[in-house]
Amino acid sequence: IVGIGECSPMHPKLVAETIASALKPIIIGRDLFDMERMSEDVFIKTYKFRGRLVFMAFSGIEIAIWDAIGKALKLPVYKLLGGEYRKNIKVYASFMRRDQPPKEVAERAEYFVSQGFKAIKIKIGKRWGFDDLPDNAIETVKEVRKAIGYGIDLMVDCNSAYSAPRAIQIGRKLEEYNIFHFEEPVPEHDIESLRKVSEALDVPVAAGEQNCGRYEFKELIVKDAVDIVQPDVTKAGGFLECKKIATLADSFGKVCTPHNTQPTIGTVATLHFIASTPNCRYPMEYNIEPHPLKDTLLKEPVVPKDGYITVPDGYGLGVELNEEVIEKYGVEVK
């Protein structure tokens, strides 16, 4: 039985080397069903250098293990993670590009609404809290709202663009356009600034795409720095860790909206997570930008229809890789 998974693709050579040199000795020969013990061993035995790289590397392995377990038991992964809470999952069209003219962003948003999406997320700002102003954030949101109307949910993602005072100022102006959530308005490491922004605004503040493991998310949640937590299944530690993060968020009355920019295996894994996790109540992220393997890596690509995706029902993740694509692009890591 072969399980498939995906790691967050940031610095793939480093991730591959982490798998080969650090994680392989911990995992090879283990009983795959002993997931709690295996996860703990990874956390403990890498403690001198453990960080985001280890979490990203283990995430892909962990997803592949659940895929293998599902195949062995002849069950879809979501059945193993708590069963079906929802089957048809609403998705939002997530824009990855920034610094485009406002009218161009509005035209793209209007196009994806015409394709059936009921929710859109756009990028604003310059990243990393430098207040690189003036920018076209307000004008962009204004033009997009004009193009898509107020019947479509509109999320705004800053990717850590502003200082707290500037984020509050911009967030208050954006509230006039009824935005659905205000994502990562300040640098992700500055939890106190994030808390200040959340406290000052009425619009829900979302963050967590950079965070790994439940202990980092504990800081966001306990300090009331966010309203919406955004673990990434391919980055934060895999299914089991993200289920714990979602449960922690739920116990504090917060919604879990996973981050997801990977349109193939990452999307499928996120679907299984959301299908089985009650407090994933808002639309799921779906990357609409061009991707070299989007239409070819999976034998049957998973694509939205009328703004929804149905979680695959096959064993494990329920998808198969196109072996010709793997043969063409694959690199074996010893």
Catalogue the active-site residues: 259
The span from the CA of 259 to the CA of 67, in Å, is 20
| Alpha carbon 191 to its chain's center | 19
Q: At 236, is the secondary structure helix, strand, or coil?
A: coil
Q: Which residue in 287, 307, 296, 281 sits closest to 329, CA to CA? A: 296
> Residues 252, 61: contact at Cβ < 8 Å?
no
Cβ within 8 Å of residue 251, ≥6 positions away: none
Angle at 250 between CA 316 and CA 238, to 5 degrees: 30
Cβ within 8 Å of residue 114, ≥6 positions away: none
> Residues 189, 156: contact at Cβ < 8 Å?
no
Q: Quickly tell me which residue has 């059936």 as its tokens.
A: 116
| Tokens (6 digits) for 95 | 């824009």
Supply the Cα-derived Rg of the chain in whole angstroms: 20
Q: At 156, is the secondary structure helix, strand, or coil?
A: strand
| Alpha carbon 129 to its chain's center | 21
